[in-house]
Structure 1
Amino acid sequence: MTLPILYSLQNCPYAMRARLGILLAQQTVRLRAIVMQDKPPEMLALSPKGTVPVLVLEAKSNKTVIDESLDIMLWALKLNDPGNLLYSQDTDALVEMLKIIKDNDENFKPKLEQYKRAKRFHGDDEEQCRLLCEPFIQSLEIRLTQHEFLMGSTPSLLDYALLPFVRQFSRVNRQLYLQGPYTHLQRWLNQHLQSRLFSKAMFKYPLWLDNHEECLFGK
C-alpha cells in the first residue's frame, strides 16, 4: 500500500491541525514541506485553490484529495482513534465539537487575522480588534473552568483543532494575553505546547522542492 502524501506549511495553523490529527491517529504519511511563495505544480494540479494542507490518498490508479484540515483530522481519526478524541461514547459530542470548530474557522479566525494585522502594522484599532476576539476566547475559558479539557476530563478533537488558533491569539500581544483573565486557558495551552506531541508536529523538515525528497511523518 502506498503511503498518503501530505503537503504542509510549517506554521500554518490549518497544516498544524492536520499534522496533529495524523500523529494522534498514529498514521504515517509522506510529508512534502512547502512555502507559499513557491507552490509545487504537483500540488496545484491536485488542489487548484493552492492552500495547505493537502492530503493525497493513492489506491491503484485512483487518487483521492482531501484539502481541508478538519477533514484530514476526521479521516485519520476514523481510521484509528486510540485516545477516543471523537468521544464515541457520546452521540452528541462530535456534533457539538464540529459546531464550535466551525465558529472558530468562520468567525473567530477572520477576527484573529484583523487583530494580527492591527498589531503588525501598529494600527490604532488594535484594541478594538482584540475585543472582537474576546467572546470566543472567553467561551473557551468558561469551558475550561468546568473540566480540564474543552469537552471533558480527557482531550478531544476540539482541543487539537483549536490549539493552533489559540496559540496564534496568545502570541499577538503576549503581555496582554498573560495579564488577561485566561488562567485556565493559559494552563491548557501551556500543557499542549510543552507536550512531546506538539514538538513532533512542529519538527521542521527540509523543503520538498529543494531536492524532491519526501520525509516520513507520523507513527
Structure 2
Amino acid sequence: MPLATLYSFRRCPYAMRARLGIVLSGAQVMLREIILKHKPEAMLAASPKGTVPVLITQNGQVIDESLDIMIWALRKNDPQNILLSQLPALQATAMALIKHNDDTFKPWLDKYKYADRYPEYSQDYYRKQGEIFISQLESLLTKHHHLLGHTASIADYAIYPFVRQFAHVDKNGFNTAPYPNVQRWLTDHLISDPFMDIMKKYPTWLESEQQFLFGTGIQD
C-alpha cells in the first residue's frame, strides 16, 4: 500500500510539529522537502493556500494544518499517550495552550524575528510581548518537568519548535533571561532523538525529483 506524502520545509516550526507527530507515532511517509520560494505545483494543487506542512494520505485526503497532521499520526499509534486520550480534561488544557501559542505568541514571534517589517514598534517591544507567553511556560515548568506533567505531551511537542525559533532570534539574550526552566526544557528537546530525527537534511524535491522515506517505520 502506498504511503502518505508529506510536503515539508525543514526549518518551519509548523512543519517541525508535523514531522514530530509522525516520528513519535512510529509512522512512515514519503517526504517531499520543498523550497518555499518555488512551491511545487503538485503541492499547490492539493492545498492552494501554499503553506507547509501538507499531508496527502493514502486515500487522497489532504491535511494542511500542522496540529491536524500530528493528531492524524498519533491517532494511529500513540504508545506514549502524547495525545492524552485517556485524560480529556488535560487534553483540553493542552489544546488551549497550543491555540494560545498559535494565535497569540506566534504573531508576536514573527514581529520580533522580522522587526524591520513592523516599524510601528521596536524589536525590544515585540520581544517583551512574546515573553508574556514564555513567562506562562516558565510558570508551568516550575510545577513539573514538562508543560502539563512529568512526561511530555502534545503540548510540549507542538509548542517547542516555536520557542526554539524565538530563542534563535537572540540566543545570548534568551540564554541569560530569567527563564531557567524554559531553557532547560527547550534544551532537553533539542538534544532528543525525535528532534535529531526530524532535522535530518534531505535534498529538495524540486531539485532532485526524489522523495524520501521519513519516519521510524515501526508501526504495523
Normalised to the residue count of structure 1, the TM-score between the two structures is 0.95
CA RMSD between the two structures: 1.6
Residue 84 of structure 1 pairs with residue 75 of structure 2: no
User: Which residue of structure 1 lines up, in the alignment, with residue 184 of structure 2?
Assistant: 187
* Distance in 2 of aligned mates of 1:96 and 1:124: 32
* Distance in 1 of aligned mates of 2:58 and 2:91: 28
After superposition, the C-alpha distances for 1:55-105 in whole angstroms (9 at most, x for unaligned) are 00123xxx1000000000000011100111112331211111111111111
User: Which residue of structure 1 lines up, in the alignment, with residue 14 of structure 2?
Assistant: 14
Residues 3 and 30, structure 1, Cα contact 8 Å, conserved in 2:
yes
| Secondary structure class of the residue paired with 1:58 | coil
Residues 119 and 172, structure 1, Cα contact 8 Å, conserved in 2:
no
Q: Quick one: which amino acid aligns to residue 16 of structure 2?
A: M
After superposition, the C-alpha distances for 1:34-54 in whole angstroms (9 at most, x for unaligned) are 011111101100100000000
Residues 9 and 35, structure 1, Cα contact 8 Å, conserved in 2:
yes
Residue segments in structure 2 that go unaligned for 5+ positions in a row: none
Per the TM alignment, residue 120 of structure 1 is displaced from its structure 2 partner at its CA by: 8.8
* Distance in 1 of aligned mates of 2:160 and 2:121: 28
* Distance in 2 of aligned mates of 1:204 and 1:147: 33
Q: Quick one: which amino acid aligns to residue 94 of structure 1?
A: Q
* Distance in 1 of aligned mates of 2:190 and 2:116: 23
* Distance in 1 of aligned mates of 2:207 and 2:131: 41
* Distance in 1 of aligned mates of 2:33 and 2:211: 8
Residue 150 of structure 1 pairs with residue 134 of structure 2: no
| Matched-pair identity in % | 50
* Distance in 1 of aligned mates of 2:212 and 2:32: 7
After superposition, the C-alpha distances for 1:148-198 in whole angstroms (9 at most, x for unaligned) are 001100010000000110001111112221111110010000000011211
Residues 5 and 56, structure 2, Cα contact 8 Å, conserved in 1:
yes
Per the TM alignment, residue 118 of structure 1 is displaced from its structure 2 partner at its CA by: 2.0
Q: What pairs with 1:63-102 in structure 2 (closer than 5 Å)?
A: 63-102=60-99
Between 1:123-132 and 1:3-12, the stretch displaced more is 123-132
Residue segments in structure 1 that go unaligned for 5+ positions in a row: none
Residues 25 and 79, structure 1, Cα contact 8 Å, conserved in 2:
yes
